[in-house]
Structure 1
Amino acid sequence: MTTTPTESRVMTAEEREQFERDGFVIIRNVLTPDEVAHYAAAVDRVYAEHEALGKLGPDKSLHKLSAVASCPELAGLVDHPKAFPMVWSTMGWNVHVYHSHLDVHPPIHEPKPFRFEWHQDGGRQNREIETNPRPRLSVKLAFWLSDVSEPGRGNFKVVKGSHLTNRIDGPPRRDIEWPDPEHAMEVCANAGDAVFFDRRIWHARSNNYSDLTRKVVFVGYTYRWVAIRDEAVSPTVAAGLTPVQKQLVGALDEGRVHDPIEGGDHAWGHFEKEVPLYRDLHERGLLDSSFPYLIP
């Protein structure tokens, strides 16, 4: 199931205000019931393969990196027309997917050993960049394939507005019992909803003590001049992708992208007409000049 960004949806002024204030936005009904079933079945296939090989976590969970390389059926999520506009409305057209993963967490019936899991995305970015607050650098979409409309189902946990805070209080070691940060909340969403969030927001995951299996796909986007963490998709998978999808998964094969002299400048956005997302937005009249990252 491959979607094409044909709709002219953009981030509304209200969504932009909420995103900048809170660090996240819930996008309702992104996926139809048929799409939820399709993507959940693809995730189930990958889970079954890992279960057969004995490659699940001790709690039978699966955290599989490189979502599209690991499960090509998920390619339609990277530029889904009801969610992807939030990405380019925030970061512009010179972006790609640098980090993605699919997660499956079956119900657990016994309390897990404590571990303080609150974090910001980005790893070493949070130690090596000196500004306060740190720059956004990337955003993420979480596509929910299971019902987390009630707390305690493996929900995405956030501290609203904490994307503008470089640190929160935590224990000296992650295994020392420690309360959740003040104002922490579990984000409740239905299967088919997506959560769009700033990588800087302090977040974690609730334990799944429900009777439902938690299934979700996370897709992280950053600028093309930042390295991709994901594994490359195979040539066979790349051949079935749209130009925009090829850009997003790092499989772009047009223009000067592989030129030995100018190829390195391609990711810097110097040749905008060779960047598929730029062309797509230009053709649809969506390059809003009031946002510098949406113009050459």
Structure 2
Amino acid sequence: MTMTGPAVRHPGTAMTADQRAQFERDGYLVVPGVLDADEVAHYTEAIDRVYERHTREGEGLHLRGAVQSCPELAPLIDHPKMFGLVWSILGWNVHIYHSHLDVHPTVSAERPFRFEWHQDGGRQNREIETHPRPRMSVNVAYWLSDVSVPGRGNLKVVPGSHTTDWIAGPPSRNVPWPDPEDAIHVTANAGDVVFFDRRIWHARSENHSPITRKAAYFGYTYRWVRARQELTRELPGLSPVQQQLLGALGATDGDHAWGHAPHGVPLYTVLRETGNLDPGFPPLKP
């Protein structure tokens, strides 16, 4: 098969032995200087234009579909100074399954507490029964603002927690609770990349600085984490559960597949109404 279109970019270089050892130990890497000053300025301006279209000044923006929302970000997905990390860990049979761009201005007032510590992957963390949980995906965070000191909306992580399936937390997310023991604020300069295992326990800290936090995130996983074939025509008369099973739930923001909104998933509703949800079995726990 002959590939056509723009010239294929250099795929980057493989992860070094030291990088691999650190990544396997800590669950994340900070890679300095992936973007130079001109690139930082270019991508910042592109994201600023999207921000102006989508929200009012002073409000935060978390917009899924980074390249769809901001096509100028496309060169980031296989940037030669970053991409080698992705294929060094996951191999060549990969695609981006989740991405978003973020703009978070200064938080001027204290907001209600919410416990945000999590592992990425949504229902993966309940429905796959192995221990430790499988890696499945890796994340690349491009920092376009200076988070070289804590307090600027830094990514918080617990180093080494990517092989830990559980951390202590409150009975509900709105109950005040301290950060996990050994949690740190990851610091980085504009242009740096944070590369992390989706299993590492992490959260975003509040931005109390005068600097607006700006970043672009890309999540890479195996290409088989999707339907092998897609429904290409409408089939009348399908029940809601049948539509779910054939991948035809309709236009959504994609979160139904992650299970964050179970009441919008037909089979969940049927099992709840028939008394078949079992809180003692993680895949059947809402």
Q: State TM-score, norm by structure 1.
A: 0.73
Residues 189-240 of structure 1: per-residue CA shift (max 9 Å, x gap): 0000000000000000110000000000000000000129xxxxxxxxxxxx
Native 8 Å contact 1:5 1:81 kept in 2: yes
CA–CA separation in structure 2 for the residues paired with 1:3 and 1:79: 13
Select which of 20, 23, 26 maps to 2:27. Answer: 23
SS of the aligned residue for 1:39 comes to: helix
Amino acid at match of 1:16: R
Native 8 Å contact 2:158 2:183 kept in 1: yes
Query: What's the CA shift for 1:112?
Result: 1.6
With over 3 angstroms needed to count, the CA separation of the structure-2 counterparts of 1:38 and 1:4, relative to structure 1, is farther
Partner of 1:90: 89
SS of the aligned residue for 2:81 comes to: coil
CA–CA separation in structure 1 for the residues paired with 2:173 and 2:96: 29
Residues 236-256 of structure 1: per-residue CA shift (max 9 Å, x gap): xxxxxxxxxxxxxxxxxxxxx
SS of the aligned residue for 1:201 comes to: coil
With over 3 angstroms needed to count, the CA separation of the structure-2 counterparts of 1:3 and 1:160, relative to structure 1, is farther
Amino acid at match of 1:72: P
CA–CA separation in structure 1 for the residues paired with 2:204 and 2:97: 21
Query: Aligned residues, how many?
Result: 222
Amino acid at match of 1:190: N
Q: How does 1:99-178 map to 2 (within 5 A)?
A: 99-178=98-177
Q: State TM-score, norm by structure 2.
A: 0.75
Structure 1 ranges of 4+ moved more than 4 A: none
Amino acid at match of 2:225: V
SS of the aligned residue for 2:10 comes to: coil
CA–CA separation in structure 1 for the residues paired with 2:13 and 2:133: 29
Native 8 Å contact 1:63 1:101 kept in 2: yes
Amino acid at match of 2:24: E
Native 8 Å contact 1:157 1:204 kept in 2: yes
CA–CA separation in structure 2 for the residues paired with 1:13 and 1:187: 22
Native 8 Å contact 2:153 2:207 kept in 1: yes
Unmatched tracts of structure 2, length 5 or more: 1-5, 228-286
Partner of 2:45: 41
Native 8 Å contact 1:105 1:215 kept in 2: yes
Native 8 Å contact 1:3 1:77 kept in 2: no
Amino acid at match of 2:93: N
Partner of 2:272: none
SS of the aligned residue for 2:174 comes to: coil
Residues 246-279 of structure 1: per-residue CA shift (max 9 Å, x gap): xxxxxxxxxxxxxxxxxxxxxxxxxxxxxxxxxx
SS of the aligned residue for 1:16 comes to: helix
CA–CA separation in structure 1 for the residues paired with 2:226 and 2:165: 23
Partner of 2:59: 60
With over 3 angstroms needed to count, the CA separation of the structure-2 counterparts of 1:45 and 1:167, relative to structure 1, is same
SS of the aligned residue for 2:157 comes to: strand
CA–CA separation in structure 2 for the residues paired with 1:8 and 1:63: 29
CA–CA separation in structure 2 for the residues paired with 1:63 and 1:115: 17
With over 3 angstroms needed to count, the CA separation of the structure-2 counterparts of 1:11 and 1:31, relative to structure 1, is same
Query: What's the CA shift for 1:5?
Result: 3.5
With over 3 angstroms needed to count, the CA separation of the structure-2 counterparts of 1:3 and 1:186, relative to structure 1, is farther
Amino acid at match of 2:33: N
Superposition RMSD on alpha carbons, in Å?
1.6
Q: How does 1:1-296 map to 2 (within 5 A)?
A: 5-6=9-10, 8-51=12-55, 60-227=59-226
- Between the two proteins, what is the percent identity of the paired residues? 64
Native 8 Å contact 2:170 2:177 kept in 1: yes
Native 8 Å contact 1:3 1:81 kept in 2: no
Partner of 1:245: none
Query: What's the CA shift for 1:177?
Result: 0.3
Pick the structure with greater CA Rg. Answer: 2
With over 3 angstroms needed to count, the CA separation of the structure-2 counterparts of 1:154 and 1:160, relative to structure 1, is same
Native 8 Å contact 1:23 1:163 kept in 2: yes
